[in-house]
């Protein structure tokens, strides 16, 4: 076992923890403990927040052009570090290297968007709103903010928030997932090399104790959380009760509706890519295919053929699909497969029998396809977060739509069809935050915003794009008059504009 311990990043340097608590970090492809991660206690939480609070006044007053220069430098460094970052992600998360590179690329988009912060922060100005009176609006940063991220995107999800928060003049404390903590430290080093002053970006490693410390701390002004729905609900409630601005993105169960006129080859490819990519550990993964009418039999056959051809193994070996993140999670997903079979679903491809291309005893489960799944089965109701694709058969578009809209989650969905009018109707009628038309994982580009409906998001504001800029800033409106020698005398009435 490698005894190295991943530390925190405070005041511009990696610091070891002094709480006495650490956790194992695994290499999921071999099943071995690769290193430890420090788990913050009260002293480290205080130190991290104090550093972010001390850095805020100077960063807030740093000119927009200087802040933008740091953003541009960070963008360049991040781009150049893509392979290094991807290797770190694969070693701790398990996803295949090309997938890890893809997540960095999507995070990079947000850094690029944040380079335009000068334009994004522009306010409005109205001359002569009343006689001799002008009005203008400005947006100001909030202060130190917390970002709490999940294991499944150790680079991309922090990058959804951090560049915009920093560009807007805030300081950030990032609490990454304890399962894959190292990517955050590389991001910290890149920010430093880009010229970001110490304390503007802090990494606090840990678990619930670190999260609770941030949620309760009076100096933290806003919280962006991404993770499972029960924790998102908890974070939303607790941070809200502490008077903070909060956006908490939760879990998902994404449906792909397939109409009888869909292009079968394209649809089967999309279902496999979106169902089994990253071993299904994506909040925008497709986990339910809703097959309408006669398309079901040929579609299931086409998906099964492709799923059987996938190579599962160590993400560093050019495989299609890597392991799950921990042994416990792999076992939980396998239990869902067994429960689905017991409840009457037809097991078409059984990933539990996979022989992975890997050394050691990694946390592997191969692509799994269940047909004839019905809405009361746990394999349908629960977010499984693994490489398990369920097919629900329905008779009509209306039945498919009702199914999607009745689900507790509303993160992403897709429709596959050759009929523009049907797609347009779906786009209008479906109650889900992100919709794809013949696109299975409709993660919005950085100048739109990311967010689900219902139990997939708590709070009002979506992530990144202009909604992200709004989340990390507060509006202020200034009404001003400059003396020009005229006097209007006393008038105690409520001011009217004329
Ligand atoms: P998780 O909820 O277990 O953990 C998320 C973060 O919360 C981590 O930093 C973790 O340390 C912390 N945490 C865990 N339990 C906590 C508790 N009881 N109190 C306080 N903090 C706690 O989620 P995960 O397993 O890391 O990530 C997978 C989940 O994230 C899935 O449900 C997935 O759908 C969701 N996710 C959602 C989105 C989205 O945009 N909606 C994106 C990515 C992942």
Q: H/E/C letters for each residue in 67-113? A: HHHHHHHHHHHHHHCHHHHHHHHHHHHCCCHHHHHHHHHHHHHHHHH
pLDDT value, residue 3: 52
3-state helix, strand, coil in the chain (%, to 5): 40, 25, 35
Domain with CATH 3.40.309.10 in the chain: 254-437
| φ and ψ at residue 355, rounded to 5 degrees | -110, 100
**254 beta partners:** 286
Q: Report the atom number in ligand 1 closest to the C-alpha of 456.
A: 41
Q: Which helix (H) or strand (E) holds 160?
A: helix 156-167
Distance 344 CA to ligand 1 centre (A): 31
Measuring from atom 32 of ligand 1, which residue has the nearest CA? 228
The CATH code belonging to domain 254-437 is 3.40.309.10
Measuring from atom 16 of ligand 1, which residue has the nearest CA? 208
Nearest-angstrom CA–CA distance, 219 and 52: 9
**389 beta partners:** 369
Measuring from atom 43 of ligand 1, which residue has the nearest CA? 283
Distance 286 CA to ligand 1 centre (A): 18
In terms of Cα–Cα distance, which of 356, 355, 337 is closest to 347? 337
Instruction: Assign domain 5-250+456-478 to its CATH architecture.
Output: 3-Layer(aba) Sandwich (3.40)
pLDDT value, residue 1: 35
Prediction pTM value: 0.97
Q: Report the atom number in ligand 1 closest to the C-alpha of 175.
A: 9
Nearest-angstrom CA–CA distance, 490 and 483: 15
Distance 411 CA to ligand 1 centre (A): 15
The token duo for 122 is 């522009």
Distance 89 CA to ligand 1 centre (A): 17
Q: Report the atom number in ligand 1 closest to the C-alpha of 450.
A: 40
Rounded alpha-carbon distances, angstroms, from residue 393 to 288, 415, 423, 438: 10, 15, 19, 19
SS3 of 49, please? helix
Nearest-angstrom CA–CA distance, 283 and 285: 6
Distance 150 CA to ligand 1 centre (A): 4
Distance 302 CA to ligand 1 centre (A): 33
The token duo for 109 is 């988009």
Q: Report the atom number in ligand 1 closest to the C-alpha of 227.
A: 30
Q: Is 495 exposed, middle or buried (0-12, 13-18, 19+ CB in 10 A)?
A: exposed
Ligand 1 lined by 201 (C-beta under 6 Å): no
Yes or no: say if 271 and 348 are a contact pair by the CB < 8 Å rule. no
> Which residue of the set 283, 299, 377, 400 is catalytic?
283
Greatest C-alpha distance within the chain: 88
283 is annotated as an active-site residue: yes
Ligand 1 lined by 252 (C-beta under 6 Å): yes
> Which residues does 406 contact at the CB level (< 8 Å), separation at least 6?
375
**315 beta partners:** none
In terms of Cα–Cα distance, which of 285, 263, 283, 290 is closest to 274? 285
Yes or no: say if 174 and 204 are a contact pair by the CB < 8 Å rule. yes
280: left (phi over 0), alpha (psi -120 to 50) or beta: left
Q: In 8-45, which positions are buried (b, 16+ CB within 10 angstroms) versus exposed (e)? A: bbbbbeebebebebbbebbbbbbbeebbbbbbbbeebb
Strand order in the sheet with 457-458: 13-15, 8-10, 201-203, 171-175, 144-148, 222-226, 245-249, 457-458
Ligand 1 lined by 237 (C-beta under 6 Å): no
Ligand 1 lined by 227 (C-beta under 6 Å): yes
Task: Please list the ranges in the chain whose pLDDT falls under 70.
Answer: 1-3
Q: Which of 93, 94, 148, 150 to mutate to test the pocket of ligand 1 (most atoms within 8 A of CB)?
A: 150
């Amino acid at each position: 076992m490698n005894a190295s311990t991943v530390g925190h990043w405070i005041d511009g340097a990696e610091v070891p923890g002094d709480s006495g608590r650490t956790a194992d970090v695994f290499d999921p492809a071999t099943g071995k403990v690769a290193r430890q991660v420090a788990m913050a206690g009260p002293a480290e939480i205080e130190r991290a927040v104090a550093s972010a609070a001390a850095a805020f006044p100077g960063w807030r007053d740093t000119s927009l052009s200087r802040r933008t220069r740091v953003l541009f430098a960070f963008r360049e460094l991040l781009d150049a570090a893509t392979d290094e970052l991807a290797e770190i992600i694969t070693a701790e998360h398990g996803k295949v290297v090309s997938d890890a590179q893809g997540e960095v690329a999507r995070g990079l988009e947000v850094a690029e968007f944040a380079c335009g912060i000068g334009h994004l922060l522009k306010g409005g100005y109205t001359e002569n709103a009343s006689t001799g009176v002008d009005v203008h609006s400005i947006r100001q940063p909030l202060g130190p903010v917390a970002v709490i991220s999940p294991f499944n995107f150790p680079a991309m999800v922090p990058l959804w928030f951090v560049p915009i928060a920093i560009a807007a003049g805030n300081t950030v404390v990032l609490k990454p997932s304890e399962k894959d903590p190292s990517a955050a430290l590389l991001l910290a080093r890149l920010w430093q090399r880009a010229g970001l002053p110490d304390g503007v970006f802090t990494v606090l490693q840990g678990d619930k104790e670190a999260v609770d410390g941030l949620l309760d701390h009076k100096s933290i002004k806003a919280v962006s959380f991404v993770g499972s729905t029960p924790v998102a609900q908890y974070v939303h409630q607790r941070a809200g009760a502490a008077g903070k601005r909060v956006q908490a993105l939760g879990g998902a169960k994404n449906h792909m509706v397939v109409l009888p006129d869909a292009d079968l080859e394209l649809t089967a490819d999309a279902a496999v890519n979106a169902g089994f990519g990253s071993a299904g550990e994506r909040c925008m993964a497709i986990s339910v295919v809703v097959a309408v009418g006669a398309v079901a039999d040929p579609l299931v056959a086409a998906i099964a053929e492709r799923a059987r051809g996938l190579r599962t193994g160590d993400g560093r070996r050019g495989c299609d699909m890597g392991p799950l993140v921990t042994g416990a999670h792999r076992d939980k997903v396998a239990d869902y497969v067994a429960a689905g079979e017991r409840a009457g679903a037809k097991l078409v491809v059984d990933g539990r029998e996979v022989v992975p291309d890997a050394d050691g005893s990694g946390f592997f489960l191969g692509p799994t396809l269940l047909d004839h799944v019905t809405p009361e089965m746990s394999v349908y109701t629960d977010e499984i977060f693994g490489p398990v694709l369920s097919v629900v058969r329905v008779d009509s578009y209306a039945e498919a739509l009702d199914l999607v809209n009745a689900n507790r989650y509303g993160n992403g969905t897709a429709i596959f069809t050759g009929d523009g009018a049907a797609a347009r109707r779906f786009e209008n009628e479906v109650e889900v935050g992100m919709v794809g038309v013949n696109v299975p994982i409709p993660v919005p580009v950085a100048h739109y915003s990311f967010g689900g409906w219902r139990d997939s998001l708590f709070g009002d504001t979506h992530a990144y794009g202009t909604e992200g800029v709004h989340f990390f800033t507060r509006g202020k409106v200034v009404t001003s008059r400059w003396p020009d020698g005229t006097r209007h005398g006393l008038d105690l009435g409520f001011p009217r504009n004329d």
